[in-house]
Amino acid sequence: MEIEKIFNAKAFSLSMTLGENGVGYYIPVYQREYKWAKEQITILFEDIVNSFNASIASNDALKFLGTAILINTRNIENCNEMDMPAKVFSIIDGQQRISTLIISNIILHEIVTKKIFLLDNKVNKIDEKLFSTLKSITEETKENLQKTFLEKNVYSKDGELYQRTPKIIRNGDIWRRDAEAKYQSPISKLIFDYIKFDIENDKKSNFIFNELNDEKYKKIEENYDFISRIIKKIINGDDEDWKVRDDIFSMLNDENNWNKFLNNNSQKQIIEKIIEDEEMKKIVLLIAFCKFILNRIVITNVQVDNDDLAFDIFESLNTTGEPLTAIETFKPKIVEAEIAVTQKFENSESQVYYKVIEKYCKTVGGKSLDTSEFIIPFVLSETGEKQSAHLRAQTLFLRNNYEKLNSIKEKREFIKRLSISVEFLYEIWKNDKIDFEIFYKIDKMLSEKITLNTYVLRDAKHKISLGIYFKMIQKLLENDYSEDVKVELVKAIDAITAFIILWRVSRRNTDGIDMHFRKIFGENIQPGIKSLSFIKSKNDIDVEQIKQYFKNVLENDGKILCRDDFIKKAKNLPIYNFSKPITKYLILAAEVNTKIENDGTLKRTREEQNILFNNYLKLSIEHIAPQSNTKWSSEIYESDDTIHTIGNLTLLPIVENNSLNNSAWDIKKEFYSIISEEDPDIFPEKIEEYITRNNIDIENPQIKILQESSYLKVVKSISKFDDWNIINIEKRSENILGLAYDYFIKWLQ
CA distance 4 to 2: 6
Phi, psi values for residue 609, rounded to 5°? -130, 165
CA distance 244 to 240: 9
Residues linked to residue 595 through DSSP beta bridges, in sequence order:
603
Which residues neighbour 440 within 8 Å (Cβ) at sequence distance 6 or greater?
473, 476, 481, 486, 489
Q: Stretch 639-668: mean pLDDT, rounded?
A: 87
Better-scored residue on pLDDT, 421 or 132: 421
What is the reported pLDDT for 572?
Answer: 95
CA distance 116 to 123: 10
CA distance 502 to 688: 43
Three-state secondary-structure class, residue 718: helix
Q: Tell me the residue length of the chain.
A: 749
Q: Stretch 309-322: mean pLDDT, rounded?
A: 60
Phi, psi values for residue 170, rounded to 5°? -120, 160
**Cβ neighbours, 10 Å, residue 581:** 18
Better-scored residue on pLDDT, 65 or 257: 65
Q: Which helix (H) or strand (E) is 507 found in, with range?
A: none
Which residues neighbour 454 within 8 Å (Cβ) at sequence distance 6 or greater?
428, 429, 434, 436, 469, 493
Confidence of residue 251 (pLDDT cuts 50, 70, 90): low
Phi, psi values for residue 502, rounded to 5°? -65, -35
What is the reported pLDDT for 101?
Answer: 96
CB 742 within 8 A of CB 604: yes
CB 452 within 8 A of CB 588: no
Confidence of residue 324 (pLDDT cuts 50, 70, 90): low
Residue 579 CA to its chain's centroid (Å): 26
**Cβ neighbours, 10 Å, residue 250:** 12
CB burial class (10 A; 0-12, 13-18, 19+) of residue 633? middle
What's the per-residue H, E or C state across 32-96?
CCCCCCHHHHHHHHHHHHHHHHHHHHCCCCCEEEEEEEEEECCCCCCCCHHHCCCEEEEEEECHH
**Cβ neighbours, 10 Å, residue 441:** 12
CA distance 446 to 467: 21
What is the DSSP-derived secondary structure letter of residue 364?
S
What is the reported pLDDT for 163?
Answer: 87
Q: Residue 610: pLDDT above 60? A: no
What is the reported pLDDT for 147?
Answer: 95
Three-state secondary-structure class, residue 179: coil
Q: Residue 308: pLDDT above 70? A: no
Confidence of residue 132 (pLDDT cuts 50, 70, 90): confident
Chain segment 455-484, per-residue pLDDT in tens: 999 999 999 999 999 999 999 999 999 999
Q: Which of 9, 11, 18 is nearest to 294 (CA)?
A: 18
Which residues neighbour 737 within 8 Å (Cβ) at sequence distance 6 or greater?
505, 566, 567, 570, 571, 586, 590, 646
**Cβ neighbours, 10 Å, residue 604:** 14
CA distance 102 to 220: 11
What is the reported pLDDT for 244?
Answer: 78
What is the reported pLDDT for 417?
Answer: 95
Q: Residue 186: pLDDT above 80? A: yes
Q: Specify the pairing of strand 164-166 against strand 150-152.
A: antiparallel
The most confident of the ranges 299-313, 418-432, 611-625, 682-696 is: 418-432
Q: Which amino acid is at 617?
A: L
Confidence of residue 67 (pLDDT cuts 50, 70, 90): confident
**Cβ neighbours, 10 Å, residue 539:** 17
What is the reported pLDDT for 671?
Answer: 84
CB 304 within 8 A of CB 6: yes
Q: Stretch 387-391: mean pLDDT, rounded?
A: 79
Q: Residue 366: pLDDT above 50? A: no
Based on DSSP, count helices (H) and strands (E) in the chain, helices before strands. Answer: 33, 12
What is the reported pLDDT for 612?
Answer: 61
Half-sphere exposure of 611 (CA within 13 A, CB side): 23
Torsional sign, CA 246, 251, 257, 259? positive
Range with the lowest mean pLDDT among 104-118, 501-515, 612-626?
Answer: 612-626
Confidence of residue 258 (pLDDT cuts 50, 70, 90): low
Range with the lowest mean pLDDT among 197-206, 305-314, 327-336?
Answer: 305-314
Mean pLDDT value across the chain: 85
Q: Stretch 508-526: mean pLDDT, rounded?
A: 89
Q: Which of 31, 154, 153 is nearest to 97 (CA)?
A: 31
CA distance 305 to 71: 5
Chain segment 297-306, per-residue pLDDT in tens: 999 888 887 7
Three-state secondary-structure class, residue 601: coil
Which residues neighbour 617 within 8 Å (Cβ) at sequence distance 6 or greater?
455
Three-state secondary-structure class, residue 604: strand
Helices (H), 263-363: 268-276, 278-296, 307-317, 326-342, 349-361
Helices (H), 676-746: 682-693, 701-708, 726-745
Torsional sign, CA 287, 291, 293, 296? negative
Which residues neighbour 215 within 8 Å (Cβ) at sequence distance 6 or greater?
none
Q: Stretch 265-278: mean pLDDT, rounded?
A: 63
What is the reported pLDDT for 475?
Answer: 94
Confidence of residue 318 (pLDDT cuts 50, 70, 90): low
Q: Specify the pairing of strand 150-152 against strand 619-623.
A: unpaired
Q: Residue 540: pLDDT above 90? A: no
Q: Which of 554, 551, 488, 566 is nearest to 748 (CA)?
A: 551
CA distance 618 to 207: 60
CA distance 607 to 600: 19
Q: What is the CA radius of gyration of the chain?
A: 36
What is the reported pLDDT for 323?
Answer: 60
CA 185 → CA 7, 89, 166, 188, 191, distances in Å?
Answer: 30, 17, 11, 6, 10
- State the first-to-last Cα distance of the chain, in angstroms, to the nearest integer: 58
Which residues neighbour 72 within 8 Å (Cβ) at sequence distance 6 or greater?
87, 88, 89, 90, 303, 304, 305
Q: Residue 107: pLDDT above 50? A: yes
Q: Residue 16: pLDDT above 60? A: yes
CB 239 within 8 A of CB 47: no
What is the DSSP-derived secondary structure letter of residue 204?
S
Half-sphere exposure of 313 (CA within 13 A, CB side): 23
What is the DSSP-derived secondary structure letter of residue 680?
T
Residues above pLDDT 70, as percent of the chain: 89
Confidence of residue 364 (pLDDT cuts 50, 70, 90): very low
Half-sphere exposure of 106 (CA within 13 A, CB side): 33
What's the per-residue H, E or C state across 547-587?
HHHHHHHHHHCCCCCCHHHHHHHHCCCCHHHHCHHHHHHHH
